Structure 1
């Protein structure tokens, strides 16, 4: 369990790292990240408290660590230097194929861990911006658990980010942990192609849900190039973003993780 931290012990100048839909993330002295709630709306408070609860439950090398809670709505978390989104889309970074695959193996292991919890936990908003990198971009940490839910709780529509959102969520259907598998497949394609999903296919963001759900549009698999075995990687991605959730592999299945191991 995380410690309750008195606000007076958080000292030094705060530097804004980023801002999401319901909170701001700062870094302070001692290289920790401070996430403060910026809204008094009931839904935002609920998401903030859900993140704290889920981070307390999740103890894994590839899940961002919660050090403690300061005040009523401030989380003190592990500090990360970078995001996967910024790292893979920075042309100055010369990222090897093996490193890309290793990062995605870490991501798969983190998601598999969430799905192994009792009760099973869905992240529901997996995307490169919610995946952090530490240790000189060698260690991957999944973060932002404000939309995460236990499988036994009520499912709600339109959770997550449109580009990475599974079709069954767009269609307000009942969904399972396979929605995270879909998001993972999109991220896997992005890392192995170096491109943003649908950037060259869809002009309006509002059209993404329709195109992916109704028209079954997916990014071009031929763009996958930064990997050791392209055909295996393409097959893995294609399985992961299948329209039918039950056709997607489980993150917990050993062969699914083994396919990403550099070879």
Structure 2
């Protein structure tokens, strides 16, 4: 949404002399001055909440995310308005909201035949242009200030102004501020409303719900009655069809989801930490603008697989929202994060006893999946999550139920962990997961990215054409070296099953415990190239 303003002197910063500070520096100075003044007033008792831990950082983040024009235009004498803008933007950032608003009355006062304005609007009085404002009139007319905060979507501003027009409101001023993270704060000063402000609020709410349902993937603020009506009006053809082979009740009411923190962002979806019925959960939300027929098929397959799975070493499926435009998958939240993140972002390392424990947990989860004919197809450290010393297999976005033939041919997975038969588009089965497990086990031992000196494609070519494997650290236990080499066999038939891997790991654990060898010591490396 483009930043627009009627009568906003701050719409274009004044030109700077070449020798003066850069526009960025000037903008930051404006924001800093406004931030400090608002903070001073809050600490002086102008508003509550300023003593809360972290409030200063939150307030600065609010000013920092908005353009310098906001700091110049906003009426910082009205601290509660600044806090209202901050709160509305925070609410809009929750995917279940998308678009939030507030409305209040601003009274015009006529003094000695001239029109003045009580300082009761968010934008400074001196910033208004009389030629485009009702403030030039000598009539005593009530003004209302309508404030929207929303995800910055194309054509949304026109939909909001059209809504105001439909309610008989005349826009006297419009101030739109786009944030640096893709949201918009839109402030309208309007006249033409003759009734109570609560009546206006209800009328706006009704119109906004219609806009939200068309534009946002998740709408937890819709009234219960409207939500029920939408669900009742949806025919089976309107839903993503999930193959039904059980009687589980797993459809999640999106209004019961609360989003707290974005954990990761991808091209096709975002991952959030939140709560569902007071339970900590992870919520994977598909981006509606990126949804395609193929993506719906993948989404349906993932839900189909996850609702079949129940094992202590597989991330627990809680439910899913499957009614477009609401598409998300809800699982238990693993506070320890991924092993990939622990190794590469936190520089964590594992002792041998931890390596054996993690490898055993992964093997138990994978053995279970293979027993119920599920091939993961993307086993890697990024898809292994930790919590309370338990490791669980996660992310079934490309997993498949093995068909009657037991073989597949699609190239699926991540190159650095991919089995050679998958890279070559040859038929493959569950033993492709065993190869990937071998790479994961090597990562736990080496603490490095597989083939880190190569691009993913170069690594894939070398694995197929040169039979390349990662270089095994020299201090690796001989029995672990043997296990790695078995998992990496070019011929899938020679690779062990996960049940056999569990037996091998248990034997290694017993040998290590009896010898007292719990730690790996640095030394020269064994070559993993066969």
TM-score (norm 2): 0.45
Give me the whole-angstrom Cα distance separating, in 2, the residues matched to 1:231 and 1:49.
44
Over 3 Å counting, the alpha-carbon distance change for 1:86 and 1:224 in structure 2 is farther
Matching residue of 1:28? 274
The total of aligned residue pairs comes to 252
1:147 aligns with 2:398: yes
Q: Secondary structure at the match of 1:157?
A: coil
Give me the whole-angstrom Cα distance separating, in 2, the residues matched to 1:90 and 1:99.
19
For residue 257 of structure 1, report the CA deviation from its aligned partner.
4.4
**Residue 260 of structure 2 contacts residue 274 of structure 2 at CA under 8 Å; is this kept in 1?**
yes
Alignment of structure 1 residues 51-130 onto 2, 5 Å: 51-72=302-323, 73-81=327-335, 82-89=337-344, 93=348, 95-117=350-372, 120-130=373-383
Over 3 Å counting, the alpha-carbon distance change for 1:104 and 1:260 in structure 2 is farther
Give me the whole-angstrom Cα distance separating, in 2, the residues matched to 1:92 and 1:149.
33
Alignment of structure 1 residues 194-209 onto 2, 5 Å: 194-200=447-453, 202=454, 204-209=455-460
Matching residue of 1:172? 425
For residue 132 of structure 1, report the CA deviation from its aligned partner.
0.7
1:232 aligns with 2:479: yes
The answer for unaligned runs of 5 or more in structure 1 is none
For residue 19 of structure 1, report the CA deviation from its aligned partner.
3.0
Give me the whole-angstrom Cα distance separating, in 2, the residues matched to 1:7 and 1:147.
24
Question: Alpha-carbon deviations, 1:38-81, whole Å to 9, x = none?
Answer: 23111222112211111111100010011112353211110012
Residue 506 of structure 2 is aligned with which of 254, 258, 263? 258
Residue 185 of structure 1 is aligned with which of 427, 438, 442? 438
Give me the whole-angstrom Cα distance separating, in 2, the residues matched to 1:178 and 1:242.
10
- Taking only aligned residues, the RMSD between alpha carbons, in angstroms, comes to 2.0
Larger Rg: 2
**Residue 343 of structure 2 contacts residue 349 of structure 2 at CA under 8 Å; is this kept in 1?**
no
Over 3 Å counting, the alpha-carbon distance change for 1:92 and 1:189 in structure 2 is closer
Q: Secondary structure at the match of 1:4?
A: coil
The answer for unaligned runs of 5 or more in structure 2 is 1-247, 513-530
Question: Alpha-carbon deviations, 1:82-120, whole Å to 9, x = none?
Answer: 101122335654532211210111001111111111xx1
Residue 490 of structure 2 is aligned with which of 234, 243, 253? 243
Q: Secondary structure at the match of 1:31?
A: strand
Q: Secondary structure at the match of 1:5?
A: coil
Over 3 Å counting, the alpha-carbon distance change for 1:260 and 1:24 in structure 2 is farther
Moved more, 147-156 or 204-213: 147-156
Give me the whole-angstrom Cα distance separating, in 2, the residues matched to 1:260 and 1:52.
37
Matching residue of 1:37? 286
Moved more, 49-58 or 102-111: 49-58
